[in-house]
Amino acid sequence: QRARDADANGRTDEAINNYEKLFFYRPTFEGTDAAREPYARLLLAAGRDADAAKVLESLYRNGGSNPRQGLILAEALRGAGSGRKAVELLMELKQSAGADFRPQVEIMLDDTIDGGLSLKDAEGLWKEHQTDSAYTQYQPALAFKLAKFYLHVRDYEHASEMAKLVNSKYSSSPYASPATALLDRLKARSKVSPRTVGAVLPMSGKYKPYGDRVAKALEMVLTNAGYELVIKDSKADPLEASRAVEDLVLKSNVIAVIGDVLSGPAVGAAQKAEELGVPIISLSYAEGIPQIGGFTFRAALTIEAQAKTLVSTSMDQMGWQRFALLYPRTPYGIAFTTALWREVESRKGEIRAAQAYDQDQTTFKEQASKLVGRFYKGTRGDMSRAIQDLREQGLTGPRLQSAIEKAEKNLQPIVDFDAIVIPDGPNNLGLIAPALAYEDVVMEHDPRRLERIRKATGDRNLKSVTLIGGATWNTPQMIEKCEQYCDQSIFVDGFDVNSPDRQVREFVAAFKQAAGTEPNLLDAQAYDAAGLLKQVLTSSSAADRDTLRRALETQPGYPGVTGVLKFDVDGETVRTPVVLTIDNAVIKQWNAPKPQG
């Protein structure tokens, strides 16, 4: 009864627990069998499909093959990943069930064949039942399902074979037309124009400026070299990006694709590229993109690479061990913070404080105060001791309150970290840095001015804290917004627009002429991706996509404006970011401090 009551009140876990106690402690109870079906339904509701299937299998086989229980068992089998068993059970039910249950069985059969089978399930059913007259009604659906499976795993020979079978043997079925479309798609996929390259970029909406800039960078390399560059708008949408790749392959016959720059569309584009077997070079830092498949490569600097280099520089070169974090609740901010935290801990460093904020905040007093232990003053041991001392002095009432307020005002910040990591851009840095200064966090690195601060505070051991960050810092606006607080800061990026390197200088000048502005990391990465692709196409004489994929996998490295671009075994970019600093209002490459003495 307790199990039924819990179930009636929506307490699924409690109901399951009560049923399991009943079966364990009273296995011979006369109502045990009757309780197993509601128990199995609860297991299904809790997502425990495999457990539900075991219970229902016993009930169904030992209880006279009740069709209602059979339907529930089929649902459990499908959920547990046993699609073939579910179909074969449903076929049994179709033969034995009465008119009341047969429509439900047929609906579930159609649904399971369409969306509940694995490739192994579908192959097993086809091998066992392709000539079975009982399965005649479902053979066209099963054959077409196999054709789609084979297309998805890039087994184009078998995909074509099954689609042709549907067309010839089941020409009157509703699957004949989509099978024809699949064959047309396979035929179009095999057509390749070796001098046509596709790009998937956000060419409309709020991200259009990014797409326009990247398009310029690609054109500078490919169009100028005589390649046809076909650009499709992803509309900042994963599904649209997927469609764009399909159009580029099936209609424009591109040999390769570059893009997208945005995380979601980049994943959608890469997944479709894998399905169609076309090499794609992604320009997104989204986690896991190269692992989508063997045709996917990445030319973008990853957040993990930024965090690794920033921590390495901080700990190995600067000798810092303790860090504080101030980060926005954005995908980039959270990902950067997670990667950096992991890297610091792996090196036995410490994260001494961490505070998050909303991206659209305009004041950061609360976060700065919490970071240095001044927000919850009553929880600090030194404040508790100060209050105790005041009471021991005999202060009470208003005099005590006034003395406490004075003590709180004079409470020193807890600055037990060497650097503050802020993975954000110049607008918020320009608001955060003054908030930190208001909380008496010293960010002064000029020796003479720092000495004056020590004398003024009477703290001879006072040390300056350094602000550090990632690629979002590398913009002239950072100097304007962050002012003196970011002087001698340390940050990393994949591209230094001020580099004296001749290749970089030529690229910067050409991009400014083409786009009317200086290039940033995204532009430089696109430029190098196009340069790498052009070099590989030229050196390998690749005329098909498989040959190009193998050439991309084995290319020794392309010397680009972002450094040498090459891929590891997963297709991930292998690149060490450049370390930068702001020195006297100029962004320049950072140099490790010279050893003293």
* Residue 273, CB-side half-sphere exposure with 13 Å CA sphere: 36
Same domain, 86 and 130: yes
pLDDT tens, position by position, 209-249: 999 999 999 999 999 999 999 999 999 999 999 999 999 99
Residue 390 lies in a domain: no
pLDDT tens, position by position, 248-283: 999 999 999 999 999 999 999 999 999 899 999 999
202 neighbors 269 (Cβ within 8 angstroms) = no
Q: How far apart are CA 482 and CA 430, in angstroms?
A: 4
Nearest to 18 by CA among 31, 5, 34: 5
Per-residue pLDDT band for 24 (boundaries 50, 70, 90) equals: low
**468 backbone dihedrals φ, ψ, rounded to 5°:** -135, 155
Same domain, 339 and 467: yes
In DSSP terms, which residues pair with 281 in a beta bridge?
258, 297
Same domain, 483 and 529: no
Residue 113 lies in a domain: yes
Residue 51, pLDDT above cutoff 80? yes
Sheet of 280-282: strands edge to edge? 228-233, 196-201, 256-259, 280-282, 296-298
254 neighbors 278 (Cβ within 8 angstroms) = yes
Same domain, 16 and 140: yes
pLDDT at 16: 82
Q: Which of 189, 207, 223 is the last residue of a domain?
A: 189
Nearest to 487 by CA among 415, 437, 521, 413: 437
pLDDT at 95: 86
What SS3 state is found at 487? coil
Per-residue pLDDT band for 507 (boundaries 50, 70, 90) equals: very high
Same domain, 177 and 236: no
SS3 for 183-235 is: HHHHHHHCCCCCCEEEEEECCCHHHHHHHHHHHHHHHHHCHHHCCEEEEEECC
Same domain, 136 and 239: no
Question: The domain that contains 310 carries what CATH number?
Answer: 3.40.50.2300
Same domain, 327 and 422: yes
Same domain, 9 and 116: yes
Residue 389 lies in a domain: no
Q: Which of 173, 189, 205 is the last residue of a domain?
A: 189
Residue 595, pLDDT above cutoff 70? no
pLDDT tens, position by position, 517-535: 999 999 999 999 999 999 9
Same domain, 264 and 351: no
Q: How far apart are CA 402 and CA 408, in angstroms?
A: 10
Q: Characterize the bridge pairing of strands 350-357 and 466-469.
A: unpaired
What SS3 state is found at 395? coil
Same domain, 218 and 172: no
Residue 577 lies in a domain: no
25-46: average pLDDT: 77
CB atoms within 10 A of CB 154: 16
What SS3 state is found at 469? strand
Which domain range does residue 179 map to?
Answer: 2-189
76 neighbors 40 (Cβ within 8 angstroms) = yes
Q: How far apart are CA 318 and CA 316, in angstroms?
A: 6
Which position has the token pair 């800039």? 213
Same domain, 464 and 526: no
pLDDT at 36: 79
Residue 46 lies in a domain: yes
178: amino acid identity, one letter: P
Question: Which stretches within 63-155 are classed as H helix?
Answer: 67-79, 83-96, 102-115, 119-129, 139-152
pLDDT tens, position by position, 329-386: 998 999 999 999 999 999 999 999 999 999 999 999 999 999 998 887 777 777 778 7
pLDDT tens, position by position, 53-84: 998 888 888 777 788 888 889 999 999 999 99
What SS3 state is found at 578? strand
257 neighbors 552 (Cβ within 8 angstroms) = no
In DSSP terms, which residues pair with 10 in a beta bridge?
none
Can you state the angle between helices 208-221 and 521-540, rounded to 10 degrees?
30
pTM attached to this predicted model: 0.76
How much is the CA Rg of the chain, to the nearest whole Å?
32
pLDDT at 62: 79
Question: The domain that contains 28 carries what CATH number?
Answer: 1.25.40.10
Please give the DSSP secondary-structure letter assigned to residue 560.
E
585: amino acid identity, one letter: A
Angle at 190 between CA 184 and CA 193, to 5 degrees: 120
Q: Characterize the bridge pairing of strands 563-565 and 228-233.
A: unpaired
Residue 575, pLDDT above cutoff 90? no
Per-residue pLDDT band for 566 (boundaries 50, 70, 90) equals: very high
Which residues make Cβ contacts (< 8 Å) with residue 572, sequence separation at least 6?
290, 298, 302
Residue 385 lies in a domain: no
Residue 575 lies in a domain: no
Q: Which of 189, 207, 230 is the last residue of a domain?
A: 189
pLDDT at 402: 83
DSSP assignment string, 378-391: GG-HHHHHHHHHHH
Q: How far apart are the first and last CA of the chain?
A: 82
Residue 399 lies in a domain: no
Count of domains forming the chain: 3
Same domain, 309 and 273: no
490 neighbors 313 (Cβ within 8 angstroms) = yes
